[in-house]
Structures are given as C-alpha cells and as structure tokens.
Structure 1
Amino acid sequence: MASSSLLQGRRFYCREWALDKLRRCLDARSGPKQAPGVLVTGGPGAGKTALCTEVVCPTSKAGLAAGLAQCCLASHFCQREDQRSTVLWRFILGLVEQLRASPLLSPGYKEILNSPSVSSVLEPLMCQKDPNETFKRAVLEPLLDLPPPAQTLMVVVDSLDVEYGPGDGAGKSGSIAELLASNHDRLPSWLLLVCSVRRQNKALCKKFSSIIVCVTGMGQESGPKNFSTDDGAC
C-alpha cells in the first residue's frame, strides 16, 4: 500500500547541497537534544519531491555518494493524482509492511507483529476504525522496544499537505500529516523523520516547527545559501 514517487528514475540536478545537509542531519540525529526530523519546505515546483525521490532512489553521483538510500527504512509519497496515497489507514499498513520487509531492522520486529495483540490491529477494518492505535502498537511501541540498529535510519514522507485535514477532535488523527505531527517526538533516537510540505501551508508547518529542524529555501536557485535551518541543529 506504500505509494512510490512519480519522479523515480528522472534526472536529479542542482540540489546536491541539500543531500549533504540531510546527510549531516542524519549523522547528528542520535546526539543529545537533537530534533527528531527534518521538514523540507518550498513553493510548488521548488524540488521537494525531486529531493525526496533522490534520497530514496538516487540516480545522480551526488545522491549515490550521500548514501542516504541505504539508511532509508521506509518511504511514502502523497500524490494529488492518487487519492488512495493520502488515506491514513493505507499509509500505516504500507509503512508496517515496509518495516516488516526491511533487513535494516532486528528480526524481533516481525515477531512483535505476529503476536496476537498486534496482529489484530493490523486488520484493515481495525486500522480504519482506530488508525492511532494501530500506529502506536504496530510502529511506535515495537520500534522503541527494538535494540538500536548499527546506523541511524530514516523514514521519508513527501507532500504532507496533500489532502491535509484535522482529526475529529477526540484525539484521533484525520490525516497522515496530523498523525506524524502528533507522534514525531515519540520516535526512537536512532530514527530520523524526513517530510516535505509546501511553505504556503503555514498551519501545517507550525505543527512541526517547534520540534523538527525546519529546512527552508527550496527555491529556484541552486546554491547552499538558500538552504537554512531555523535553529542550526544540523
């Protein structure tokens, strides 16, 4: 159920400095008081999806040299052309399947998923009914219980602002963006969350700005002078 990028396989250029910046953020993640993620912001057509695609499936020399793909635990690309890619329960189940299949995680993760208490919440109807509970029991709690991997890993989620909407006011998330905004501070210290959003969506950016390092300036220019962090954490 994971959604892949429509830009996969296309040439990547003029954003090599952004890859270096993400590499530094990844390397710094496990340090004390480091933010749990990176928010890539920019206007429409600024290159956010292209950057996320290059992180997951590199085609350029710079992308291959950055070595980010080998640290990518899972990815998801929300698409305006495919409404299914923005459905919360589909995102969660797709994420779980990627984690289950990844050789980067301890085999203990599969064992946790096979336990009756967790396998029950992975039923599609159960996940639709309470996606927050499924995310908690099948993603958050198992990852926190696992021994740290040999290297810091990342999860990439592109275009959070697509079909963004609030929950029902009863503690339930109504979108992928809201789910991640409510839980990114609970991720293990060995995991970096990399997300992208249009900078015009100030309400959504604000949900991440107080905790996540905010990467801005994804404009038409290609130099590192246009890539900054709000607090200089990475």
Structure 2
Amino acid sequence: MELSTEQIQELYIFTRKHYVEYYDVQTELVDHLANDIEQISEENPNLSFEQARDTSFKKFGVFGFMDIVESRQKQLGKKYNKILWSIMKEWFTIPKIMITASIFMFFYLLMSLNINIHYLSVLMLILAFIDIFLASKLSKKSKKRFKDNNKKYLLEDIIFKVSAFSSVIIFSNIFNLSAFLRYSESLYTKVFVASLITLAILYSYISLIVIPQKAEELLQETYPEYKFINNL
C-alpha cells in the first residue's frame, strides 16, 4: 500500500505531537515511518493506517523518537563545531593573525599597567553585555525566520540559538576569570587570561556574526531541499 499525501502530512503531525520540532528530523522520521507502514500493511492488509502507524512507532521503544533526535543533534553539533573551528583557524594565519595578536597585546598590556583591576572587570562586563545584545538579536531573528517559513531546521537552531547561548556562557566565565588577577602578578597568569579573552572575543565574533551571515549557504549545503522549500 502506497501512502497518500494526506497520510504523509498526518505523519508529520504525528512526529510534532511526539516532540520532534525540527523539520529535517521530522522528514527523516516520516520517511522511515512511511516505508515501515507500507511494509506492515502488506503483511497485515486488515490493519488500518493508524494501527500500522502505531505498530511502527512501538519499534522506537520507550523513549519514542528522542534517541533519533539526540543522535541528529550530536551529528549536526559536530558539523557546527567543524565549521566554527575552520573559521577560527583562519584568525591564526596571515593577515588575520595581526588582528588576533593586537587583541592579545591590548589585554596583556592593560593587565601589565598599574591600574585598578576593576577597570578590566568593567571592560569584560561591557563585552559580556555586547554578547548578550548580539545573542538577543539572533534569537529574535530565529523567531522571525520560523514565523516566515513555518519550518525549523536543527542546524538553523544551532546557528541562531545554541551558539549564541554558548557565547554568553563563555564570556560570563571569562569575566569571573579576570578576578584571578587580583591575587596574582604572575606573567603566566596575565598571558593565560589575555589568551582566554582573545579566544572568547574571536568565538563570539564568529558564532554571533560570521556564521549567522553564512546561514543560508550552510543550510542549503546541508539540506539540498532547503532552497526549494523556502522559495515556495
């Protein structure tokens, strides 16, 4: 038995009801369910569509679709990290390394001057607020994209939400690390903190600005059907 268009749409609704919010994961599951339902119906012609669907769903076990969602999240999380670090590495090659070195030297010299350490903490707080502001803009953009397309992709969610949240967390921790300088005048401590601040700034710039600007390209590369579906 070949499923009708209405039954396929019913399977999409079924996956959403079982807490699968990402369209790409829904499509993967719908494809699997449709093939399995057709096979079950051939073996048991007396079963209704709903009975065959429920029989297929039981094969996913106690946690339903959650294992599939988690597996896909890990897979695309690794993909995102590869994209992030490939761009990050560019900042340690000529000519961008000059900017990276300048950021490092600025914070290292700032810590080496005989100024109140609270000034560094205030600067970190300002950078953290900039991070929060950019992350908030990304979150609003994510909501608008979903409203416009009515479809949410897992990689899209990582680009516009997960990475933004991670950036804020990293900068919050860097802000706390700067407090170590109150208790140490060590050269190594200053180099360590200046390096972490530099990496945090690069991470934030790449995750909050560079990668979101490449979002359409990355989504079309990951999902061949993305451009066609979102142009309908």
Structure of higher RCO (CA pairs closer than 8 Å, 6+ residues apart): 1
Which structure has the highest strand share of the two?
Answer: 1
Which structure has the highest helix share of the two?
Answer: 2
Greater radius of gyration (CA): 2
Q: TM-score normalized by structure 1? A: 0.24
